[in-house]
Chains A and B, each alone.
Chain A
Amino acid sequence: MHSKIFESYQSNDRSSLIPLLQDVQNIYGYLPENALRDISDFVKVPLSRVYGVATFYNQFRLTPLGKNIIRVCRGTACHVKNSANILFALETELGITAGQTTRDKNFTLEVVNCIGACSIAPVILVNDDYHGRITVKDIPKILKKYQTVNKTETAEATK
């Protein structure tokens, strides 16, 4: 499935390593082991180095994702507006900690630094929907929207 993306890159060029990893992650949502091996062969960089790069950067994931991705902003502005409580509430509600996926593979919880919507802090991003100025009380309501709905159907963003 990922063999196609190699077409737009030059073999043997180390500087395409990160863009390649990004493209592969775009396809699968994470970096499967066999893809890492293929990339290593393609750019002629030892697998250990590829692994090193993949684990150095926050963007890359080595495990699959849930159906819905919840990103909690932990930037400074959101921190000042109590995003720690929001994160805690999400963690208790979903029964997982940041970086994990629920057992039913419905939600993945992630922490990010400033998504650039500080003016409506605290912010969480569920898939592509921003939910701003939220309180702990809003959380069950927000989660409910995504409990059954598919990733493609966007639920209404709260203001």
Chain B
Amino acid sequence: MKDFNQLCCEKCWHTTEKPCEHFIQCCTEGPLCHHDEKCKQEISSLRKRLKYEEHDKPIIMIGMGTCGLASGAAKVKEAIEAELKKLNLEAVIEGTGCIGYCAVEPIVDIKLPGKDRISYQEITVKDVPRFIKTTLVDNEIYKEKLLGSHGKSNGVVNLKQVPFFEHQHKIVLANCGVVNPDSIDAYLANGGFKAFDKVLRLMKQEDVIKEVLDSGLRGRGGGGFPTGKKWELALKQKSDQKYLICNADEGDPGAFMDRSLLESDPFRVLEGMAIAAYTIGASVAYIYCRAEYPLAIERLKNSIAKCEEYGILGDNILNTGYSLHIKIKKGAGAFVCGEETALIGSIEGKRGMPKPRPPYPSNAGLFGKPTVINNVETYANVPPVIMMGAQKFASIGTVKSKGTKVFALSGNVKNTGLVEVPMGTTLRDIVFKIGGGIPDKKEFKAVQIGGPSGGCLPDSVIDTPVDYDSLREVGAMMGSGGFVVMDEETCIVDVAKYFLTFIQEESCGKCVPCREGTKRMLEIIERIPKRYGTDGNKLDQLQRFKGMIHLQRLADVIKDTSLCGLGQSAPNPVLSGLRYFRHEYEEHLYDRKCSAGVCKELLTFTIDNELCTGCGICVKKCAAEAIVGEKGQAHYILDNKCIKCGMCYEVCRFKAININ
């Protein structure tokens, strides 16, 4: 047998047109309809091959997610292929998804027949010849770049004991980077679609809802609405047509969980969607995915086609009479389209502008029909809920937030990547235990969580557990899972300015407070680090202080009177900054100083005439022509001409430029 869709013998009658209702079970326990040792052997050996338990050639697995590719995985793959050819070695090369440890990409795994799978980190093209020789010819461990073993090999550290993975609890990401995301057979062999199979054959719609309600699963897209409740509302609606939508818009500009999940385990998301669609009685489903994620869209397309070929999606799924068609809609780059009513408008071909609720989508959503809309990660949680049961799922996490949450750990932290932790893990554990702390011996300053709707949390609240309610209490938000670490060289005023600029550009323009209010807020914040003429200018000072006085009230009005979540949470980055980093605002305002050295206009650039060799490179690079000096002699910066761009600091090879 080449794949599960092939018949084991002529007694098997499974086809795409008339699928066998026991097909999924058959892949793991089959054959079910007839007894034949040979068939049993064949199915089980296919399964073992797909699980990499039985194979005769070495298997080389290369992480080919977006971040792997960005780190040069494709080049490494080419180099490995060439090397194998040169040495006349035979091996199977497979691309896998993202295991989450993006900081050490490209990650390459080697699995020799009968041995454990070993992961290697940061493999470069230069490494390849020695790497291949050591692992495939000498059958030894390539120690320099060893990451860990997937098994219990003596002498090699298990991946689960590597600090980055040790404190994680992988449910949603269990398959990511481990199972081949292009192969439906690999997904099936690893227990895929079992939950869908169980739901279709053994559970009534109400049973599924009860299970999901009891599990305590809440939406992972930001709001944290109980998923079971949403489905219940939609199920109760009487309608000839219902829709299901998967929200894969992921607009938070520092988050990539959904992208990674779709690239690394697309079948899991489809399975979750299929269960949800069956439960509410929807026969058409949409995935609304950002156009910036071409690889994710490609993988989804292939996965849907494969599922249809196997009779798991499409008409008359597994001979149950239930039909489901999943379609992909590409987003066109608007943050507000992540909001559910705007997203629905966008699928209908309109501008993505939010609408007042009620009516909620579960009453009247897409094309006016009852619609359930959930986040990618929410759907990916559904199969585990069904398989492990509500009770076991609910035993993970805190009282009100169950299960795990995936975060995209990035910024000034050693181990960037994708992490999945049980709800209730503290921010400290994520930053220091998993993230490995701040690189270059710098001080921790804050974590930004929840993206443009969230806030910056400082050292004083770093022991806050991550769950929906605790984060809200300290002025941030779970959001979709962006988690950006900031060190002492990050300026909080600048971060507030950054998010406001983003929000202000992305506001759809429907409500005045959001459209105009955020613009005024941005102006006030922009004024803080600006130097209008000389600093003694009284009018300028007055404006700056007056703005600050208005800021709080403006924020309240925007919060209270905006229609959608974008406006309602727009002031959060500023408010959390004022709450925890008031001293930093004051330093900017009163002392006219930015100790992080970010707000350029508050800096002065000078040249250390001891260190300056007079090479003249800064003169060439200075766009403002602010540097004067003769070749070979120390140079000077004319402060009134300098636009504080920092270019001279970047290009000076002798570290002669001082900033203060």
Contacts and interface: CB of A to CB of B under 8 A. Distances in A.
Contacts of A72: none
Interface string A85-117: 100110010000000000000000000111111
B646 to A, nearest CB: 6
Contacts of B346: 18
Contact of A92 (B292, B451, B623): B623
A67 interface: no
A88 B624 CA distance: 13
A114 B651 contact: no
Contact of B332 (A60, A77, A88): A60
B486 A116 contact: no
Interface in B288-312: 291-293
Interface string A63-88: 00000000000111101110001001
Nearest to A125: B70
Nearest to B418: A119
B453 interface: no
Contacts of A17: 349
A147 interface: no
A112 B292 contact: yes
Contacts of B256: 114, 116, 118
A121 B490 CA distance: 15
A80 B490 contact: yes
Interface string B405-420: 0001011100011000
A53 interface: yes
A14 B650 contact: no
Contacts of A18: 329-330, 332, 346, 349
A73 B505 CA distance: 16
B351 A79 contact: no
Interface string B638-657: 00000001110011000000
Chain A's interface size range is 35 or more
B607 interface: no
Nearest to A88: B645
A77 B254 contact: yes
A77 B411 contact: yes
Contact of B646 (A22, A85, A115, A123): A85
Interface string B497-522: 01000100000100000000000000
A114 B46 CA distance: 40
A123 B253 CA distance: 13
Contact of B486 (A80, A92, A117, A137): A80
B482 interface: yes
B498 A76 contact: yes
Contacts of B71: 119-120, 130, 132, 159
Contacts of B451: 76
B462 to A, nearest CB: 17
B458 interface: no
A123 B70 CA distance: 9
11 contacts: A57-B332, A58-B334, A60-B332, A76-B252, A76-B482, A80-B485, A88-B647, A92-B623, A119-B67, A120-B67, A137-B650
Interface of A: 13-19, 21-22, 43, 45, 52-53, 56-60, 74-77, 79-81, 85, 88-89, 92, 112-121, 123, 130, 132, 135-137, 156-157, 159
Given A74-B253, A118-B256, 14 more contacts: A15-B348, A22-B291, A45-B349, A53-B349, A53-B350, A57-B334, A89-B647, A114-B256, A115-B66, A116-B66, A117-B67, A119-B67, A119-B71, A157-B72
Closest 8 CB pairs of A and B: A76-B254, A119-B102, A58-B333, A57-B332, A77-B410, A130-B70, A118-B410, A113-B253
